Amino acid sequence: MGLEFNDSAKKELERIKARYPERQAALLPALYLAQREFGYVSDEAIKYLAQVLELPKSRIYGVASFYTMFNKKPVGKYFIQVCANISCAMMGADGLFDYLSSKLGIKEGETTKDGKYTLCKVECLGACGEAPMMQVNEKYYGPLTREKVDKILSELK
């Protein structure tokens, strides 16, 4: 048995498809849906989407791999992305990253053993006025200090 959406995700997919005159246009939202439902965009998930969207698997794979926000492997419960671009860098992004890295005991791209945190560097997140900043799952945090980072981490259960 391969992966399959539950009934509510299936309904959501139908609503998504209705927004576009062409089938393939539903692909990005469908990939988001798959990522939310299955945790990440696995080969199995791609196989399933190919079936329900009636698109070749290779095409879905090509699209999924172009975009950085589709995780091709599992990430921790809290996915921490630290902006490393110009405005954040000038305001201490390297120090922020190193602080998180030593606090969590993981390096760039790694996940803690308990599966709780994944840490990454990313390009400008469009919130440069709050530098240095980071994104945890879908939420933005900034401007950050050690104290604020400690507080944020302590609130992530």
Partner 1 sequence: MSELPKILSANWGKPNSTKLETYLAAGGYKAAEKALGMEPGKVAQEVLDAGLRGRGGAGFPAGRKWTFMPKDSRPRYLCVNADEGEPGTFKDRDIMRFDPHMLIEGIIIACWAMQANNSYIYIRGEFAEPADILEKALDEAYAKGYLGDKIFGKDFSLKVWVHRGAGAYECGEETALIESLEGKRGQPRIRPPFPPQRGVFNMPTTVNNVETIASVPFILKEGVAAYRKYGTEKSPGTKLFCISGHVNKPGVYELPLGFPLMKLIAEVAGGMKDGMKLKAVIPGGSSTPVLRAEECQNVNLDYESLAAAGSMLGSGAVIVIGEGTCMVKLLEILARFYAHESCGQCTPCREGCGWAAQIAKRIHEGDAEIKDIDVLYSVGEQMLGRTICPLADAAACPIMTFTSKFRAEFEAHIKNRGCPQAKAYPVEFK
Judged by the rule CB under 8 A, the positions of this chain that interact with partner 1 are 19-22, 24-29, 31-32, 62-63, 66-70, 84-87, 89-96, 98-99, 123-132, 135, 138-140, 144-146
At closest approach, how far in Å is the CB of 141 from ligand FES?
11
At closest approach, how far in Å is the CB of 80 from ligand FES?
14
Q: Which amino acid is at 88?
A: C
Q: What share of the chain is helix, strand, coil (3-state, %, to 5)?
A: 50, 10, 40
Q: How many residues does the chain have?
A: 157
Whichever of 46 and 133 has its CB closer to ligand FES, that residue is: 133
CB 45 within 8 A of CB 83: no
At closest approach, how far in Å is the CB of 145 from ligand FES?
16
Q: Note the residues at the interface with ligand FES (CB under 6 A).
A: 83, 85-88, 124-128, 131, 133
Give the burial class of 3: count Cβ atoms within 10 A of its Cβ; 0-12 exposed, 13-18 middle, 19 or more buried: middle
